[in-house]
Each structure stands twice: as structure tokens, then as C-alpha cells.
Amino acid sequence: MDSPRLAPHPPARGSLKGAADEEIEAASAACCRICLDSGDDLISPCMCKGTQQFVHRSCLDHWRSIREGTAFSHCTTCKAQFHLRVQFLEGDGGCKMKFRLFVARDILLVFLAIQTAVAAIGGVAYWLDKGGHFRNRFADGWVHILSKHPVPFYYCVGVVVFFALVGVFGLILHCSTSPSSNNDFPCFARSSNRRSDSSDDDFVVVVVIVIIFAIVGIVYAFIAATIAVQRIFQRHYHILAKKELTKEYVVEDLRGGYTPPKLDPEHEQRLKKLQLI
């Protein structure tokens, strides 16, 4: 005879109540894992559990736009791929306006930093030339108009010295990084036994040397400015382009029930070309 089958014991009421209390407590204590703030816009897009599974959609989109690599389409904690819903967007002129404003802001900040350095050098020159002896040397030259007014004169001194310093550091950097450069500089290794009898001749020589270094500094500054502007353009274009992509590829809320995602092959190839998946 077959032994009678025993019916499975129903779960105890206490355990069910405890699990329900834990779920309610977890839901009430949910906070964003990025900004650590609560809110109604919390989603659970990946395999993370506990308090790590919740994140604001706005925080996640910002994270996806600024992080490099596969953070656009994958969780950086559990490495699970997001479920991306493709949403077609119409052309938005606001993105171009933001791009121009951000580029103009960064260029303005660089310009203000240079002007601050020039003003500081001019202020030091004015402090060192308290009696105006250096400025009076240009009273009879073609720059006598500037020498009459201390502010434009010392500002021009700051500009020339700034570009001269750029030229000196540019030459040092170029010579130190050049594979054919030596440890010594032959053009400065020679010492002259001739001493000038006139201090004016020495002054003219110093001015000419400073102007030569300033011209070299202008060349290096132009090259550096070109590279800096290109970097600014690339940085902001890259970030804003990824922000637009976060609006086009929207992360779905899985509510803790993660399943392997399926993305259209065309969009998958597009994201692979952009190195975002």
C-alpha cells in the first residue's frame, strides 16, 4: 500500500508578516544611490539589491552622460545591461545653444585667467618701478604716448612679459622633450668677456631679448590656444551628444525583476560604434 501523502505545511503567519514588513520598510527607506535622496522618481533598472537598487532617473541619465565607456548602457556596480527603450526625438535647437554657451563660457574663463596673470605682472612691474625710472626711459621713443599714462604702459609691460615667459617655458619644454636635444644649450653656453660701457646699450639688449622671447611666446600661445579650443569643443560636444542620447535611449524601470535585455540590432550596432555598449 502506498503511504499517504502529507500536505505541505502552509507558511507561518509570522514569517509572511515579517517579509511584508521588510518589503514595506525597504520601500519606505528607498533612496537614490547617487544623491542619497528620496523621491517619487526612483527606478530599479538593474540587478542591484537593497538600497543600491534605487536611483533617480535624472541622476542616472547625468551619470550615463559624463561617464566614459559602457556606463551609458550598463550598471557600474553589478555590470548588468540596462533595458533601453528607443524614443525618437525631433531636432532640438536648444542643444546647439547650450553647446555654444558652454564653449563661450570656458573660453571666457581662459581669457579672464590670462588677463589676471597679465594684470598681476603689470602690478608687480609698477611696484618695482615706484620712481618711474623704467617708464621714463620710453618718454622719447615711439611709445611715448603709453609712457605718459601708467595704466596702459604697465599693462603692455605685463603683456610682453607674459608672452616672454610663455616663450621661455615653451622653448624649455620643446628642448626637454625633443629627442635630439642635449642637456646644454650651445647658444647660451658661450660667455662674452666684453662689458658694455653704456648702461643704455645693456638696456636695449635686454629689451630686444625680451621682445624676441615675447614673439616666440606668441607663437606658442597661438598653438596652445588652438589646442585648448579644440579640447573645449570636443569635451562639450561629447557630453551634450551623450545627454541627447540619454533622452533617445531611455532606461526602463524593472521594479526589481531583472531579465536579460533585448535591443534592436540596428541600435545595438550604433551604440557599439560609439563605444557605449
- Altogether, the residues listed in the chain come to a count of 277
- Same domain for 41 and 172? no
pLDDT for position 137: 73
- Same domain for 168 and 218? yes
pLDDT for position 208: 79
List, for residues 237-269, the tens digit of each pLDDT value: 777 778 888 888 889 988 878 888 888 888 888
CATH number of the domain that residue 45 is part of? 3.30.40
pLDDT for position 233: 80
CB of 74 within 8 A of CB of 82?
yes
pLDDT for position 112: 93
pLDDT for position 263: 82
Cell 543600491 appears where?
Answer: 52
Q: DSSP letters along 148-163, please?
A: HSHHHHHHHHHHHHHH
d(CA 154, CA 69): 49
Domain residues for the domain of 263 are 31-83+252-273
Which H/E stretch holds residue 19? helix 13-28
- Same domain for 111 and 207? yes
- Same domain for 104 and 236? yes
Low-confidence ranges of the chain (pLDDT < 50): 1-7, 14-16, 19-20, 23-24, 181, 185-197
- Same domain for 39 and 58? yes
The domain total for the chain is 2
Count CB neighbours of 98 within 10 A: 15
pTM of the model: 0.52
- Same domain for 123 and 179? yes
- Same domain for 98 and 214? yes
d(CA 276, CA 70): 5
